[in-house]
Amino acid sequence: MSEVATADTDQGFFSLLRWRREVGRDEAKNVAVILVDHQGRWGGVKAAPISAVSQRLREQGILDQIVHGLAERFEGTKKPTLGMLREWQGTMQNSLYLTEPRPTAVSEPVAVLDALYRAYVRPRGGGGSRFAKGRVLDRVISAIRSAGSEVRRGEYYKDFLFDAVVSEHARPTVVDTLSFASQAKTFSRAEYEAGHFLYARERVDSPGIVVVQEPLEDSPESALASFNRVGRWFKDAAVPVVSADHLDRLQEVLSSGT
């Protein structure tokens, strides 16, 4: 991509948001790319799926909060400028940090942002199976925010860590995600997570929702057995279950305040 603007293009600048678990080690992953111009006329943020950056739920929550906060800064008419990008770079120097802004010619901001994402950020292999728990949680967070609700990923609520906490009502709704769509021989981990969620939900005395990726046609019998088992637990506890293939129902359940 050319770094010199022409008569038919504008001058843009981009930085990479990077994550390193240990500050002292030179091992980092690109989380997102940020594109701006001098005046704040256009720009945006495009991030990798959070689950592709870290598999640790609490780390996912921290990353998601930062990325979502940056993205919100671009929602207004007046967008962040190069000066603001440099200010952010000066304040983010630890586990999450921004690279030095680099110039690039911009004829169409959205197309350039997409190209920069593909070149620097997009995970190899697409970030893993779309049926994995982390990817399901990515989609759940996106669906909740698209419907206009406030949600925090990997959030502690009353001493318990939940996949997500939705704060739309007087009592927050806690959310759990499970996936049985794999070739694993055992699904004891998913059963443990389901049991922990039910225990934690009872202790925090809040409404709860579970989003489940159901077994696939070629999933082993153990997947179906575990899926049916935890399904009975949720039914007995009167916790609504939403299929990961039908996230359009999620906001309806949330709105009911169940």
**pLDDT tens, position by position, 33-48:** 999 999 999 999 999 9
Residues near 112 by beta carbon (within 8 Å), at least 6 away in sequence: 1, 12, 35, 104, 106
Q: Which residues pair with 72 in a beta bridge?
A: none
Query: Mean pLDDT across the stretch 192-219?
Result: 96
- The DSSP secondary-structure symbol of 138 reads H
Residues near 32 by beta carbon (within 8 Å), at least 6 away in sequence: 16, 17, 45, 46, 47, 48, 67, 70, 121
Per-residue pLDDT, 3: 40
Question: Per-residue pLDDT for 2 more than 90?
Answer: no
Of 29, 39, 92, whose CA–CA distance to 60 is shortest? 29
Query: Mean pLDDT across the stretch 71-84?
Result: 94
Per-residue pLDDT, 125: 74
Q: Which two three-digit tokens encode residue 44?
A: 């945006």
What percent of the chain clears pLDDT 70, i.e. is strictly above it? 93
* Dist. CA 5–CA 11, nearest whole Å: 5
User: Which has more confidence, 128 or 195?
Assistant: 195
Query: Mean pLDDT across the stretch 230-256?
Result: 94
Question: Per-residue pLDDT for 13 more than 60?
Answer: yes
Residues near 146 by beta carbon (within 8 Å), at least 6 away in sequence: none
User: Which has more confidence, 2 or 231?
Assistant: 231
**Which domains does the chain carry?**
10-124 (no CATH), 133-256 (3.40.1350.60)
Question: Per-residue pLDDT for 4 more than 50?
Answer: no
Query: Could you tell me how far CA 181 lies from the centroid of its own chain?
Result: 20
pTM of the model: 0.89
Question: Per-residue pLDDT for 7 more than 70?
Answer: no
